[in-house]
Structure 1
């Protein structure tokens, strides 16, 4: 990138909004999937939607690849930079522009976190339903990119179900409004295509989201089971009984061990699986269904049922569940978080097969997942120092493709990104992928908007660029990457 182009970015955004120092750039070399790392040429920190458009217009004119980035909590390499490109960080666009309790909506910028939306809406008895485990730090812009869900997606759906409209900057630097305040809009659902496109169709700069009233009653239990298969069968029976919990989450013994080592959330250490079921809604309905859920858990062999007695205890249950990914770091030096979906009726089969794949690879897998909708989040535990990285990557890929083979999907909410692009032909035909490429090209004719993500390319799948394998001198602390 020439000095003239850099100077143009400085002129458009301000000197403090253009990072070029190699040390500062290193902070943006990866997202939550740290196995893929690329240092960008520049990082841009615009303060306004107009500045985002200015930056994209320069990129489009000079054909400079750009990658939008929120909080960097993604787990699929979706925010992986391009070596000769720029990262456009949305962290400075953090305003809650409006909370409209009458129409139950809020207007926010992309750098606002999920939890901050709910906090702003709370005085009005409202909240924002999508709640990924990283909701304290993950941003609405990233949620739109990945179509994130969270623990309560079983009843309340994903980000796409809670966004009314988005002002976006398209890859050529022009702006558009996708969607509208009205829930019914004629024509093509361009907003639906944009949400979940993983930053490949443009950048959202202003978002109108739906707010929901807080439920009248909430009840939560944790049921222990002697096997993950029995816990999975219990979930199937709950849904088959016509009960739709707000959440139905599961953790296996390895995950419970990690959580209890990190914080005392009250989980039983001597159980093979813990099933968290939460019901919400009108008091009478919740009471009746809660009794049914307890009975169904007993029918499937639960060894203990713990009912959250108050809001503090309920919060502790969820604190443990949402800390599970980070807590695994206490029992394994390295791990890969996978994300796939299987039909709910095949949960037990999928968990058994994952165990078999792990045993064959000589590695441990911790299972933490949204049991209610079959969205698995296996954590492949390994030690890079012990030379286990390649086996871990192969096991992670095999688990994702197993989900497809069982009639499911490569991803439920973490996205395809860089991590699973090469597995896309396992789920989609050549015609399917060609159609996706046509849609992408209609938005991004020059291929500069988050290139190398979602769709497989020969370069990506042949060489796997970006996977970080430290040089022996780097591992010894004698040299450093620039």
Structure 2
């Protein structure tokens, strides 16, 4: 592939140019500051960048990128750092362009139900600003209170309610993007039917490899008139999985269908105390929304299907506060794993709904073979699995075995007719598995598209597409040196 890490250029000259283009507090070079940016949510992979810059506007981003381009310095855009695939992993001799200070809401167009924001605005903040108008933003990643819309665009993020409403790509109308040479371009518009190739859809989900998005116009939706939620307990994971398939086969499209297994429930109840049953082997959280009459009809049918598949209990929250607590528990599932394991890898494969049971059974077998535990919490309605491989990095070889199991699970999803990723992206974590899903011709075509935007390979290099350097010298889980463990030194 032609878009690996570029040969480093003149970093000192680039630094001087960046310092001249930005306010004094917008350039970080102290090693203590740089350590904050050495990884994203995939904390097993760590690389300390040479510099971090914190622009506040599209023009400042363009100046930073132009300087990097002139001096052949690779750069990586970073939002809130909540990504789970190593997509914001820095380059050792490169620059991180942090967008966290770009947090302005630029325009709210209530008549046309849209909002234009900078990339550092969080997912939840969009709905907060839209709420007084009776509107909201539908995609809702579990990290929505901290993850930013720029990162959502990069990864084409989803969330629990994307079963009915679609992913980020279905809710982005336009973006402003700085390309790899510092040029400012706009993609998308207000038209419902666009003419020509849909370059906007190409950018959404490109994981920051084509440029840096600095403004996003999102579609807002009216708040639903009615919302109904239930939690169904099951004595077997297979019963819960079969229930999901039958609900969809019945022609019902809930707003959300989430599944958690016993291990995930135990972690959530220790961390959040959401009132979920720790006796159940699996639970489904099912929500319908829309007009009241249709909600009631669908809700009744769903309850009947749950009962027919052996639900041991069906709990309906008494009020909005209890419903919010249930969703708080589901969305805190990843963070709650710290209650039962010191470390974990989270995977993000997609499979056909009808294969939920055999794939989950195989994951359990693989976990036993690796002598590791796997907790499952996922968007069951669209087959987007999030197996969490639990391990303890202090125990020799556990990190390696956990990483191998995590990769094997992702590739199992491909073998089952699915995908390596549903919403977390490929990043660094799964780039070397891309040949499992795509042919050499496919990957070469993707590389040509990427090179059309970034011929020098400076923009988020080493991500998404496999390269000999990446797959031959994977950074692997971070392991502290014995001197560091003894407290005699730290990473500089």
Which TM bucket (shorter chain)? Answer: over 0.9
Structure 2 gaps of 5+ residues are 1-9
| Compared CA separation, residues 466 and 86, structure 1 to 2 (3 A) | farther
Contact 2:116–2:215 under 8 Å retained in 1: yes
2: CA distance, partners of 1:402 / 1:3: 46
Task: State the match for 1:284 in structure 2.
Answer: 293
Query: Which 4+ runs in 1 deviate beyond 4 A?
Result: none
3-state DSSP of counterpart to 2:344: strand
Counterpart pick for 1:229 among 229, 238, 241: 238
Does the alignment pair 1:440 with 2:450? yes
CA distance in 2, matches of 1:445, 1:466: 28
Q: State the partner residue of 1:323.
A: 332
Report the equivalent of 1:64. Answer: 73
Matched, 1:275 2:280: no
448, 471, 474: which one aligns with 2:484: 474
> Using the alignment, how far apart are the partners of 2:475 and 2:274 within structure 1?
40
1:113 is the counterpart of 2:113: no
Aligned residue for 1:248? 257
Cα distance, 1:3 vs structure 2: 3.2
Which of 416, 424, 436 in structure 2 is aligned with 1:406? 416
2:4 corresponds to which residue?
none
The 3-state SS of whatever aligns with 1:166 is strand
Encode CA deviations 1:208-227: one digit per residue, 9 max, x unaligned.
10000000000000000011
TM-score normalized with structure 2 length:
0.97
Q: Is the 8 A contact 2:11 2:71 kept in 1?
A: no
Correspondences of 1:112-131 after superposition (within 5 Å): 112-131=121-140
d(CA) in 1 for partners of 2:312, 2:433? 39
Displacement after TM superposition at 1:465 (Å): 2.6
Residue aligning to 1:464: 474
The answer on whether the counterparts of 1:38 and 1:466 sit within 8 Å (CA) in structure 2 is: no
- Cα-to-partner distance string for 1:288-345 (whole Å, 9 max, x where unaligned): 1100000000111100000112111110110000000000111001001111000000
Q: Please give the alpha-carbon distance, in whole angstroms, between the structure 2 residues aligned to 1:363 and 1:312.
A: 36
Correspondence for 1:428 among 419, 423, 438: 438
Residue 187 of structure 2 aligns to a residue whose secondary structure is strand
Matched, 1:153 2:172: no
1:476 positional shift: 2.2
The whole-number CA distance in structure 1 between the counterparts of 2:477 and 2:57 is 33
1:375 paired residue among 378, 384, 389: 384
Structure 1 Cα separation of the partners of residues 374 and 209 of structure 2: 31
Per the alignment, in what secondary structure is the counterpart of residue 11 of structure 1?
A: helix
> Equivalents in 2 of 1:472, 1:457: separation in Å?
31
Shifted more, 176-185 versus 130-139: the winner is 176-185
Unaligned runs of 5+ in 1: none
Match of 1:44 among 47, 53, 61: 53
What is the match of residue 11 of structure 1?
20
Give how far 1:479 is off: 1.8
CA contact (8 A) 2:154 2:207 kept: yes
Structure 2: distance between partners of 1:424 and 1:141: 24
**Alignment-derived partner of residue 262 in structure 1:** 271
State how far apart, in whole Å, the 2-side matches of 1:475 and 1:24 are: 21
Map 1:44-193 onto structure 2 (within 5 A).
44-193=53-202
Query: How far did residue 466 of structure 1 move?
Result: 5.7
Is contact 2:13–2:71 with CA below 8 Å preserved after alignment? no
CA distance in 2, matches of 1:465, 1:286: 49
SS at match of 1:354: helix
**Aligned equivalents of 1:197, 1:339: Cα separation in 2:** 16
| Aligned-partner Cα distance in 1 for 2:321–2:45 | 39
**Separation of aligned partners in 1, 2:424 and 2:14:** 34
Task: State whether structure 2 residue 401 is matched by structure 1 residue 391.
Answer: yes
Aligned-partner Cα distance in 2 for 1:263–1:16: 38
The number of equivalent residue pairs is: 482
Distance 2:244 2:104 in 1: 40
